[in-house]
Amino acid sequence: MLATAAAMRAMGARIERQADGSWQVDGVGVGGLLQPATALDMGNSGTSTRLLMGLVASHLITATFIGDASLSGRPMGRVIEPLERMGAAITASPGGRLPLMLRGITPAVPIEYTLPIASAQVKSAILLAGLNTPGITRVIEPIPTRDHSERMLAGFGATLTVESSPAGRIISIHGEAELKPQAITVPGDPSSAAFWLVAASIVPGSDMIVRNVGLNPTRTGVIAALRMMGADIVELDGRTVGGEPVADLRVRHAPLTAIEVPPDLAPSMIDEYPVLFVAAAFATGRTIARGAHELRVKESDRIATMAAALSACGVAVTEHEDGLSIDGSGGDAIPGGATIASKLDHRIAMSMVVAGLHAARAVTIDDAAPVATSYPRFFMSLDRLAGITGADA
């Protein structure tokens, strides 16, 4: 979020954090982005990079995107290809990686694009480029992905339609939109909540309420998978916040049973697989989680990294090209006693911290700094919850 805010400031927006913790954004209007004076540093955020590439693509400005070592290793080709079709000129480092320079164009060319791989980030990048593109830009997704961008753009006043077809969901956005300012309440991130759902499920005696969790149906795959394993997760006070379904989740320790994770859950839980692998390490039986090729090109190769991390902690793991098979402990503590190479990946670090909560010997993370990428207060919440039952997260 901080990297995104800094980038938007560099392109003309005024963004301030208020005393009450809220953020106020004075925008430049659709088509009003200014030429940034320096490179846009995206830190560790692939989402910010891909979305802002889309935003810049239909403006007559040139922006250079840089990031840390982890982000610079991630391929951007899947978003480069459709943006170049819209007229942007992009010069990337070998392998379609950062640093890259994007020269936008006005007017850009509206396209109809079928996603070759399910990716909400690519979809959103094209829709953001379409905001300042005359005509109608269409994205066809054969496999539905998270729809936060569609909900947000419609809420701000963009003319956007979503329809079903034999080819998949068709999202159409009318360009040169007039967006209206809004007051937005952002629900809690289900990806962040997932760490506490798994922690409470595996640590005996746990009883926790995780407040204000966004339950957009395109994001609840991990809850579905955990419930299939026997997790005790109950929704409380269901409500709608900012156009998104939200509830508090009460989760209590429960014995978990191994499952074969349905591959069609992958798009709705792709970021939650690492912590689901941790849950599987404590289940009874062998959990098979496949159909998640996308994990190979995240902040790290999350399949290989989690296989190595769990194996180092004494868990029997079989690595597949698209996932893992994991033999669980039946609820007993795993051996632990390992130092984990997090590979600069925030979700690996947090997932293995959760694993260490029920390990016979300490689990050490080599570098916890990347956790600040998505959850700066993670360790503060953990310290507050440790050893406390009936607590809130």
CA 267 to chain CA centroid, Å, is 11
3-state SS, residue 108: coil
Q: At 392, phi and psi to the nearest 5?
A: -100, 150
DSSP secondary structure letter of residue 186: P
How far is it, in rounded angstroms, from Cα 280 to Cα 293? 18
How far is it, in rounded angstroms, from Cα 102 to Cα 65? 8
How far is it, in rounded angstroms, from Cα 289 to Cα 266? 9
Structure-token pair, residue 75: 């391929």
How far is it, in rounded angstroms, from Cα 228 to Cα 299? 28
3-state SS, residue 78: helix
Query: CB within 8 A of 333, min separation 6: which ones?
Result: 358, 359, 360
Of 68, 147, 271, 345, catalytic: 271
Say if residues 315 and 326 touch (Cβ distance below 8 Å): yes
**Alpha-carbon distance values, 232 to 181, 200, 249 (Å):** 40, 9, 10
Say if residues 51 and 125 touch (Cβ distance below 8 Å): yes
3-state SS, residue 96: coil
Say if residues 299 and 70 touch (Cβ distance below 8 Å): yes
Q: At 358, phi and psi to the nearest 5?
A: -135, 55
What are the contacts of 303-306 at 24+ separation with CB within 8 A?
305/341, 305/342, 305/343, 305/345, 305/348, 306/273, 306/274, 306/277, 306/348, 306/351
Q: Are strands 364-365 and 339-340 parallel, antiparallel or unpaired?
A: parallel
Q: Catalytic annotation on 271?
A: yes
How far is it, in rounded angstroms, from Cα 40 to Cα 93? 15
Annotated catalytic residues are 271
